[in-house]
Amino acid sequence: MIRKNVWSKDFSLITIGTIISAIAGQAISLPFSLMVFDETQSALLSAIMFVSGMLPNFILPLFIAPLIDRGNKKRTIITLDYLTGVLYLLVALIISKTGFNYQLFVAFSFIAGIIGSIYHLTYTAWYPDIIPVGFEQQGFAVSSSIYPTVVMVMSPVAAWLYKVMPIHLLLVLIGFLTLIAATFELFIGNQGLRRKEGTWSWREYIADCKAGFKYLRREKGLRNIYSYMAITNGVATGIQLMVQAYFQTVQFLTVAMLAFLRTAETLGRMLGGLVQYKVNVKPEKRFGITKFVYFTYETLDMLLLFMPYPLMLVNRFICGVLGITSFTLREASVQSYLPPDMRAKVNAIFNVAVSFAVIVFQLSAGYVGDLLGYRKTVVLFTGISMAAIIGFIAIPSAVNRKVYEATRCSQQDTLA
């Protein structure tokens, strides 16, 4: 029987689990961020708490990636989900007794960051194997649409929950949602094993750790794409902090308006995801589309805080459409280009690079934002992103194009 769409049993189960996890994550991330800024009134302290969650990504992925590539990815994902659920419940109990404690929130963010670092790396390496061959663009269109859809629904809900529900009760809710997500994932058949599990020598482990670097050394196109993504991810988190601080400090703007701004972007992502799901973009057209998207997106980011609020909504909607388009095309290409036994190791290097950039730009944004103002900081940071597009994407187009034109079938034929 010829498959007509991406919806296999395993893909359906991973999608359900991911949706529930996304709901849980969004329900707590905005209240946490809002609470820390309200309690401290400092963009820098808010940035420090955010960075504490990113620190594990700075080095841990490089050492854990060989274990992930050789291990049972399904078992790892389920174990981490159950562990996360228990952690939320434990922190809820502590907070119910102590109330707001900045140091506690930083510690919790750091521990959650360790779990999240391993989880994200495992999920990224496992997910392409769950997508039926030939439906990569559909599969990544679905996955990239989940978070935006959840954000659209949950941003106003999360802002409302922040006002009406004690944070410890919200954590209890999130803990149970995470446990439910893990239970759905128990029924996935694909184990994510590329080879038989077993022990291997220290020398083999070190060789596995080095393998990702050796592979990237000869893959200039991937290096360019990952370098660009590291810089722009770091810039994006700095801009997000500036936008949040701007909305919390300007008299005619409110937290509710910030939530609806995110909802507008989410609507754009939903529309863009639907287009990517329905319209298959030919591999040879992916690179030209993404270059256009990158330049347009940064231009809109630069103008955002200088616009009246209605135009801000339009701005974010367009960015949502553009962002999901570039993400889907890039992931379908890059994850197809990477050999399966290299995904975790190469993605680990990428995660470390992104984490380093995020830490640098978050702290820089917090410092520069307090010094120069939020709008000027956004302009400065988007200028850095523009330079990254020119240097890593536009100028070396020839070597980048072959990555964007990759398909899973062609890569399997090459490996065979």
Range scoring the smallest mean pLDDT among 129-143, 197-211, 254-268, 329-343: 197-211
How much is the pLDDT for 318?
95
For 217-228, what is the mean pLDDT? 90
111/208: higher pLDDT:
111
| Two tokens, residue 41 | 């009134």
CA distances (Å), 243 to each of 33, 330, 371, 372, 378, in order? 13, 26, 15, 14, 8
Judged against a pLDDT cut of 70, whether residue 200 lies above it is answered with no
For 128-133, what is the mean pLDDT? 82
Distance CA 207, CA 69 (A): 13
Q: Which of 352, 369, 233, 348 is nearest to 294 (CA)?
A: 233
How much is the pLDDT for 196?
55
- Containing 317, the helix (H) or strand (E) segment is helix 309-337
**Are 177 and 94 a contacting pair, CB within 8 Å?**
no
Of the pLDDT bands very low, low, confident and very high (cuts 50, 70, 90), residue 413 is: very low
Range scoring the smallest mean pLDDT among 35-39, 92-96, 102-106, 259-263: 35-39
Judged against a pLDDT cut of 70, whether residue 249 lies above it is answered with yes
Tell me which range, 30-44, 244-258, 285-299, is most confidently predicted by mean pLDDT: 285-299
How much is the pLDDT for 91?
84
For 150-174, what is the mean pLDDT? 79
Of the pLDDT bands very low, low, confident and very high (cuts 50, 70, 90), residue 390 is: very high
Range scoring the smallest mean pLDDT among 29-38, 341-350, 365-374: 29-38
Write down all domains in the chain, each with its CATH number in brackets.
9-185+202-415 (1.20.1250.20)
Of the pLDDT bands very low, low, confident and very high (cuts 50, 70, 90), residue 2 is: low
pLDDT digits (tens, 9 = 90+) for 59-77: 788 788 888 877 788 888 9
For 247-261, what is the mean pLDDT? 84
Judged against a pLDDT cut of 90, whether residue 382 lies above it is answered with yes
How much is the pLDDT for 277?
82
Torsional sign, CA 375, 377, 380, 383: negative
**Are 377 and 238 a contacting pair, CB within 8 Å?**
yes
For 340-344, what is the mean pLDDT? 78
Of the pLDDT bands very low, low, confident and very high (cuts 50, 70, 90), residue 369 is: confident
**Are 355 and 363 a contacting pair, CB within 8 Å?**
no
For 16-31, what is the mean pLDDT? 82
**Beta-carbon-side half-sphere exposure of residue 153 (alpha carbons within 13 Å):** 12
Of the pLDDT bands very low, low, confident and very high (cuts 50, 70, 90), residue 354 is: confident
Judged against a pLDDT cut of 60, whether residue 414 lies above it is answered with no
Distance CA 220, CA 403 (A): 10
Of the pLDDT bands very low, low, confident and very high (cuts 50, 70, 90), residue 416 is: very low
**Torsion of the alpha carbons at 173, 178, 181 and 186, rounded to the nearest 10:** -130
Of the pLDDT bands very low, low, confident and very high (cuts 50, 70, 90), residue 194 is: low
35/122: higher pLDDT:
122
Range scoring the smallest mean pLDDT among 35-49, 78-92, 367-381: 35-49
The position carrying tokens 């978070």 is 147
For 256-264, what is the mean pLDDT? 84
Judged against a pLDDT cut of 70, whether residue 3 lies above it is answered with no
Judged against a pLDDT cut of 70, whether residue 198 lies above it is answered with no
